[in-house]
Chain A
């Protein structure tokens, strides 16, 4: 395999650059996917029937913590890639691990929140509004959960093999995925929670 030394390792071969490019297109498809979920949410947001609406359901404090954790994890995964480009394995693994931990923290809060909703009588079958809320948040949460499993397996490979064409490529692609989840969250934060609380 030819390694191009003028570029960072994650772009080091044609195959690697193609994978990064392909993943960007996948993220484009993800934009279309989440846009559709937002569409469903906005069409159904006022159709809460006899169930609770957003203003009654949402709690700002949990959402602020979720936002803080996700923004910070996006920061640390950025630092992990930065360390990787400097060839510093240990800091990279620490930043990467911190990212996954904050992801877990985010999931913990989200799951607690879901339990509270159900406790307050808002399940997925209460109304069209709650259905669309659970599915929008749930899809994002499922992405975060998958990301934690995927990230852990990459971290394991970095630990075993160090920085190779393959592991550097995977770590970089994972960072793109994670940043993208943060972007989606920003829109959920603004247009689901804040708009709901207005």
Chain B
């Protein structure tokens, strides 16, 4: 019964997400800024993909798999363009 209710895939996914959250805490250590940002980015991206693939089953229906990937890709394109474009305008590329 326990095995049936707690499939190994979900349990491993959960444990991994906890470990990744703990790993992200190493960004608080005294290391160069670039490494800190790299740690945060890598752990967050792995965690997000974990949710997407393990828990949300984005790829489970063959009929919609491609469209869903395109959907997420388009959303990320718009989101990242907005984010980095605005930083480009206001922070990195501001006239000074």
Query: Which A60-106 residues have a C-beta within 8 angstroms of B?
Result: 67-68, 71-72, 74-75, 77-79, 82-83, 86, 88, 91
A175 to B5, CA, bound (A): 16
| Interface residues on chain B, size class | 35 or more
Are B83 and A186 closer than 8 Å at their CB atoms? no
Q: Helix, strand, loop or mixed for chain A's interface?
A: helix
Q: Give chain A nearest CB distance to B32 CB in angstroms.
A: 11
The yes or no answer to B96 lying at the interface (CB within 8 A) is: no
The yes or no answer to A198 lying at the interface (CB within 8 A) is: yes
A194 to B75, CA, bound (A): 25
A32 to B18, CA, bound (A): 26
Residues of B near A91 (CB, < 8 A) are: 5
Known: A67-B21, A179-B55. A191 touches B44 (CB 8 A): yes
A176 to B61, CA, bound (A): 14
A75 to B82, CA, bound (A): 31
Are A71 and B5 closer than 8 Å at their CB atoms? no
Q: Which residues of A are at the interface with B, using a C-beta cutoff of 8 A?
A: 7, 11, 17, 20-21, 24-25, 27-29, 31-32, 34-36, 38-39, 42-43, 67-68, 71-72, 74-75, 77-79, 82-83, 86, 88, 91, 175-176, 179-180, 182-183, 186-187, 189-191, 194-195, 197-198
A-B contact pairs, 19 of them (CB 8 A): A17-B64, A21-B64, A28-B71, A31-B76, A35-B78, A35-B79, A38-B83, A43-B87, A68-B18, A77-B55, A78-B13, A88-B5, A175-B55, A176-B56, A179-B51, A186-B44, A186-B47, A186-B48, A187-B44
